[in-house]
Amino acid sequence: MRFDRLLATILIVICLVAALGNWLMGSSFQASERSKASVDIALIDVYGSISDSANSSLFGGAEGANATTLLEGIRQARQDKVKAILLRINSPGGTAAAAQSVYTELMRARKETKIKIVASLGDLTASGGYYVASAANHIVANPSTLTGSIGVIMHTQNISPLLDKLGVQSGSIQSGRFKDYFI
């Protein structure tokens, strides 16, 4: 019984140390992968939610696509004078600003260097992910790829009848005439 507890404790400590090590090492994500045999095509993976900063998960790897890392990959491809960029996109979207900055950099690469861009859509490419893909010369998708539109959705609840029933009233205090954008 005592040996089992000792063994279990040792295994738990090893798992915690491994998880901590992965977390401290950060993302293993590479924005621009290129094999030495083929220097003509840059491969850029866009996985997860696109934002200005991707957080590392507890067990390593990025939880989303870091726009800064993606921009560095695109700029590196331009500097290396590749003939094409292959975007592998599997993203539900992300922040508008981050997706727009990646889109803008891809369009700059297309215009200034004549690099051809092909977007390969994975399981899901929607919203900001589709925005990034729209910068490509060609988009390739599996028939079962869930592809969404560029846009915004926000769900709201109308609780004004409840507030009226309870006698709750709202108001605002502002320092100037145009400070309240609800008027």
Domain membership flag for residue 120: yes
Domain membership flag for residue 101: yes
Residues in Cβ contact with 134 at an 8 Å cutoff, skipping those fewer than 6 apart: 103, 150
Structure tokens at 152: 């915004």
Domain membership flag for residue 16: no
Domain membership flag for residue 65: yes
Domain membership flag for residue 158: no
Q: What is the CATH number of the domain that holds 44?
A: 3.90.226.10
Q: pLDDT tens string for the chain (183 positions)?
A: 676 677 667 757 675 666 555 555 543 344 444 444 456 899 999 999 999 875 544 444 556 789 999 999 999 999 999 999 999 999 999 999 999 999 999 999 999 998 999 999 999 999 999 999 999 999 999 999 999 887 766 788 999 899 999 999 887 777 777 666 655
**Which residues are part of the catalytic machinery?**
127, 179
- 3-state secondary structure labels for all residues of the chain: CHHHHHHHHHHHHHHHHHHHHHHHHCCCCCCCECCCCCCCEEEEEEECEEECCCCECCCCCECEEEHHHHHHHHHHHHHCCCCEEEEEEEECCECHHHHHHHHHHHHHHHHHHCCEEEEEEEEEECCHHHHHHCCCCEEEECCCCEECCCCCCCCCCCCHHHHHHHCCCCCCCCCCCCCCCCC
Question: Quick check: pTM over 0.75?
Answer: no
Q: How many domains does the chain have?
A: 1
Domain membership flag for residue 12: no
Query: Does residue 133 contact residue 121 with C-beta atoms inside 8 Å?
Result: yes
Host domain of residue 70:
23-151
**C-alpha–C-alpha distance, residues 155 and 110, integer Å:** 37
